[in-house]
A and B are shown apart, each in its own frame.
Chain A
Amino acid sequence: MRLVREPDSILSDWRARALRVESEIGKVVLGQERVIRLLTIATFARGHVLLEGDVGVGKTTLLRALARAIGGAFERIEGTIDLMPADLIYHAHLGEDGKPRIDPGPLLKQGEDLSVFFFNEINRARPQVHSLLLRLMAERSLSAFNREYRFPHVQVFADRNRVEREETFELPAAARDRFLMELQVAMPTDDTARRSLVFDPRFHNVDTLLGEVQTGILEPEALETVARVIQIGVTTSPALEAYVMALWQAVREPHAHGIDVDNVDMARLVQGGASPRGMSYLMRAARVRAWIENRDMVVPEDVRAVFPEVMAHRIFIDPVYEMRRDRLVGDLIAGVFARVPAP
């Protein structure tokens, strides 16, 4: 270990807490161990997360459970087509005395302690709202009432469903790039989990269910520091750096590495993307994963474990193939990991 004794014990203490967060969420959300693990990684990498999935698979429950477990101030808002940026900042109404009143909106209500901001159905909101969110995510600040508000601990979770396309606004690439991960939440594949989700009355009322989750396991104010210690404490060797560079190269030029995806012209599949910011996010997430796996070094498995969620939405492919995007990008990433040798 290169760290001095104190950070070492901090890290192991926080690792235990991270595992407890996972087990607490796992009590109320069944069959989503991988998603929970990735959410924990995102939390300790201080990254924002976009969840995608069908309706009713438990995205909202998952995020509410996570917010409870993290602790700190929590706000949420539903995306609608008439939602305007101002609605996030202030709330105008007539007071009981008949005078117009301006109250802080969801973003400002909790002040600068806001730790989890949860944006439901983000693709129903207009681009103006997206751009506000972009700044919140990128700079953790926003301007209102002639001053700048800072949210040093905020972490944005958003979700969207892919079922409806009417009255929705696709997120701009710049906004998607700000998300550390895009997580696909699928139905649990485990039969017993499915059975109890349907038949166990415990899962019928979400509010009482969430009451089982222990609150405030993590201290939002400390998370930033812990995240920094993790990033310093977990090392990457030159061999791993070379491996990640090779992965990056292979994603951008798959045809040069002999990667083949069925019936696709590999020379034109990847148009761009996999930005340097994306790669740095990738390494942040990989370091956190190594730490959760109780290692002080990043190994290729860590990179592989977080790669699809961190990188898939940053790879821009030819519009011809856009409709088959999920499968093609998945195959591309699988091909990259099959072809690029490590160490």
Chain B
Amino acid sequence: MRAPPRLPAGLLLLLAPLFAGAAAQAQVRAVDLYAPRPFGYTIGDTIELSAEIALDAPFRLDPASLPRPRALSYWLDLRDVRLDDRGVADGVQRYTLHLAYQTFYAPLEPKRLDLPALPLTAADGGRRIELSVPSWSFLMSPLREIVASAGGTTMALRPDMAPPRIATAGTLRHLGVALIGALLALLLLAWHLGWGPLGRRRTRPFARAARAVTAELAPSTSSPPAYGRALVALHRAFDATAGAGVFAEDLPGFFAAHPAFAPVEGEVRRLFAASRRLFFGEDPAAAARELAPEDVLALARRLRAVERGSA
């Protein structure tokens, strides 16, 4: 079907209001109304019209003269009014006026109805002219027959629609990513703090030493040889940290190379003094006076904390 969406309502309509003089005539070049099909409307339908208005510059439409959306009559609402200013070209000021109506007329049989004309005002500062968007008529049709005949066959109720499923795949994916991320972060933390078996790795000699010292110096098994073994475990940790044997005379160099251990310098010096007494002076009593077994245990834990960076 070759029905253009908009039919010009009538042909080109040049409006000449009765009261407008010849001067005013010249200032309104054209008001063209474009409308949809003029038939086949039922109650509640909306009808959108547009009017193209051409004025001689410098005349401009007075915005105050535009109708406001409102109920025009008991059956007709003006729902929307929109004015597009398309600017001045060749001395002609052009506008496009969009109008949206909704009809609530309930005809018993097809009936022709009219959309009323809309008066507008244009001005150029001093002079004012009147112009009008023409009225337009269309056919409305009833929705149902006048007298309801017998009801149709009764229908069986169809089962309720299943509730729509909410898409959860994305949420689940996010949850998985977040869980994996959390697990990785936990592993990283465990690795950094040397929890459990992660404390056994080579780069954490003091974690291993602290474990050994705890085992050796447990109150139930503590004995002079165990004290010695605990000191040896700590010495091995120092050696592993420095990458070479660390003796008492090397401590300044050790602290210079590993400044993180500086806070425990005093205790470490006492440790080396004690182990000197124990191993090379053969004086366990003096060694224990210098650094008691409990102190060794505390020092081992502090060193482990320093190593993991949480001291």
Contact = CB atoms under 8 A, between A and B. Distances in A.
Contacts of A235: 281-282
B84 interface: no
B245 A239 contact: no
B19 interface: no
B308 interface: no
Contacts of A341: 232, 235-236, 239, 245
A64 to B, nearest CB: 31
Interface in A229-247: 235-240
Interface in A279-312: 296-301, 304
For A236, A240, A300, A337, the residue with the greatest tally of chain B CB atoms inside 10 Å of its CB is: A300
Contacts of B247: 299-301, 304, 342
Given A341-B236, A343-B275, A237 B245 contact: no
B145 interface: no
A338 interface: yes
Contact of A299 (B232, B239, B243, B280): B280
A340 interface: yes
B169 interface: no
A342 B235 contact: yes
B245 A342 contact: yes
A240 B245 contact: no
Nearest to A334: B244
Secondary structure of the A contact surface, majority rule: mixed
Given A341-B236, A342-B235, A343-B232, A298 B280 contact: yes
Nearest to B276: A299
Nearest to A238: B282
B275 A237 contact: no
Interface of A: 235-240, 296-301, 304, 337-343
18 contacts: A236-B280, A237-B280, A239-B280, A240-B279, A297-B276, A297-B282, A299-B247, A299-B248, A299-B280, A301-B247, A301-B248, A304-B247, A337-B244, A339-B245, A342-B247, A343-B232, A343-B275, A343-B279
Given A297-B281, A299-B280, 11 more contacts: A235-B281, A239-B280, A240-B279, A240-B280, A296-B281, A297-B280, A300-B247, A300-B280, A337-B244, A338-B245, A343-B231
